[in-house]
């Protein structure tokens, strides 16, 4: 099959289009013909080597975490899916590879494609949808009437998280450029802060939850937004000891995580704020919850650009530049 392969980590990686063997199919997996694949910042960061201690991939590697397509083969122990099903998923860590013609997906990570969505729209959902769900529902337990600050509201995670937070009954503040203010308001944002001209910590106070996705400077600003007892959930780091234990990292890697997060954990504790790092995981049942929200009209996919399969390198570079409004998708079929 055809696939785009990463041969080595680099600051400006170029994926190689190659003929590779079909992915081996385990008993609890289905083989999906890829119709569309979402492109994420995570793909770019892996290509730079940023997660090689957390995710010890062997190179060469086929990137791609999001997939939408059709089931063409099922493993011996698969019961919930059959040939011809239109499905979508966030692929499991260490089993990624949707920048290809076919990919093997764990049954437990898969869901039927939402009705009414194109394959491209469906492929834009899993990683950002599950990230928002695991941050706001699982970790934050966001409740009606609470206030949440979601950074970078026009990005892939932000555009989904705003909609989910509004569905949960929260008041939502976000950052965006002046040009994207109306866009994030259309998603449900109540307060929009122009990050180029305003300082979040000067405008927001007493918030319950912050979903952090930016750099260390904005991490400290986020602390000052929260009231004592609030929750700061970061998807951009630094990773904390709880995460190290959750992934059963080596003693050395856990020590590194403890050191990297020591400062922010200390400052958070001083302010009475909880700090948690989230590295989202594949989850079929949660994806089915998200499907229900999409089919009910509570959440809509936001797709910035669709690239043809042959332009996978261009799609990855576009995402890596950090200016996408919503999600970027590769269309193969």
User: CA nearest 181: which of 319, 322, 325, 303?
Assistant: 325
- Cα separation, 332 vs 330, whole angstroms: 6
pLDDT at residue 254 in the model: 87
User: CA nearest 95: which of 137, 134, 64, 141?
Assistant: 64
pLDDT per residue over 138-179, tens digit each? 999 999 999 999 999 999 999 999 999 999 999 999 999 999
pLDDT per residue over 81-103, tens digit each? 999 999 999 999 999 999 999 99
| Residue in the block written with tokens 């934050």 | 140
| Contact assessment for residue 314 and residue 4, using Cβ atoms and an 8 Å cutoff | no
| Residue in the block written with tokens 């966030």 | 90
Contacts for 109 with CB less than 8 Å, ≥ 6 apart = 89, 90, 91, 92, 282, 283, 284, 287
Contacts for 130 with CB less than 8 Å, ≥ 6 apart = 90, 280, 281, 282, 283, 286, 287, 290
Find the mean pLDDT for residues 260-285: 95
Q: Supply the DSSP string of 158-197, one letter for each residue.
A: HHHHHHHHHHTT-EEEEEE-GGGHHHHHHHT-SEEEETTT
Residue 4: phi, psi to the nearest 5?
-95, 120
- Cα separation, 180 vs 277, whole angstroms: 27
Q: How confident is the model at residue 205 (pLDDT cuts 50, 70, 90)?
A: very high
Give the DSSP H or E segment for 13: none
Beta bridge partners of 308: 331
Relative orientation angle of helices 126-133 and 156-167, to the nearest 10 degrees: 50
Least confident of 171-175, 245-249, 254-258, 278-282: 245-249
Handedness of CA 144, 145, 146, 149 (dihedral sign): positive
The DSSP bridge pattern shows strands 66-74 and 29-39 to be antiparallel
- Cα separation, 331 vs 333, whole angstroms: 6
- Cα separation, 267 vs 281, whole angstroms: 27
Ordered structural domains, the chain, with CATH: 2-124+301-331 (3.90.180.10), 128-277 (3.40.50.720)
pTM for this predicted structure: 0.97
* Both structure tokens of 30: 């289905």
pLDDT at residue 256 in the model: 84
pLDDT at residue 216 in the model: 78
């Amino acid at each position: 099959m055809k696939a785009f392969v990463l041969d080595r980590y680099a600051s400006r990686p170029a994926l190689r289009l190659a003929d590779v063997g079909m992915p081996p199919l385990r008993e609890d997996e289905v083989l999906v013909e890829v119709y569309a694949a979402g492109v994420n910042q995570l793909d770019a960061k892996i290509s730079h080597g940023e997660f090689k201690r957390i995710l010890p991939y062997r190179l060469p590697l086929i990137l791609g975490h999001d997939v939408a397509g059709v089931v063409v083969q099922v493993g011996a122990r698969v019961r919930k899916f059959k040939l011809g099903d239109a499905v979508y998923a966030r692929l499991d860590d260490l089993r990624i590879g949707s920048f290809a013609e076919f990919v093997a997906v764990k049954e437990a990570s898969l869901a039927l494609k939402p009705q009414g969505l194109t394959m491209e729209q469906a492929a834009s959902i899993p990683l950002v949808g599950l990230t928002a769900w695991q941050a706001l529902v699982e970790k934050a337990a966001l409740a009606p009437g609470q206030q949440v600050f979601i950074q970078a509201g026009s990005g892939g995670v932000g555009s989904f998280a705003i909609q989910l937070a509004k569905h949960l009954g929260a008041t939502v503040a976000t950052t965006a450029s002046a040009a994207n203010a109306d866009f994030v308001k259309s998603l449900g944002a109540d307060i929009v802060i122009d990050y180029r001209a305003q300082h979040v910590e000067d405008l927001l106070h007493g918030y319950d939850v912050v979903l952090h996705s930016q750099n260390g400077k904005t991490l400290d600003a986020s602390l000052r937004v929260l009231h004592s007892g609030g929750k700061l959930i970061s998807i951009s780091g630094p990773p904390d000891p709880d995460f190290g234990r959750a992934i059963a990292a080596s003693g050395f890697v856990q020590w590194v995580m403890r050191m990297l997060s020591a400062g922010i954990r200390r400052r958070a504790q001083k302010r009475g704020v909880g700090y948690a790092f989230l590295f989202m995981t594949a989850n079929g049942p949660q994806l089915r919850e998200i499907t229900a929200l999409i089919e009910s009209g509570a959440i809509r996919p936001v797709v910035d650009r669709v690239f043809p399969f042959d332009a996978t390198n261009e799609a990855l570079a576009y995402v890596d530049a950090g200016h996408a409004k919503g999600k970027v998708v590769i269309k193969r079929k």
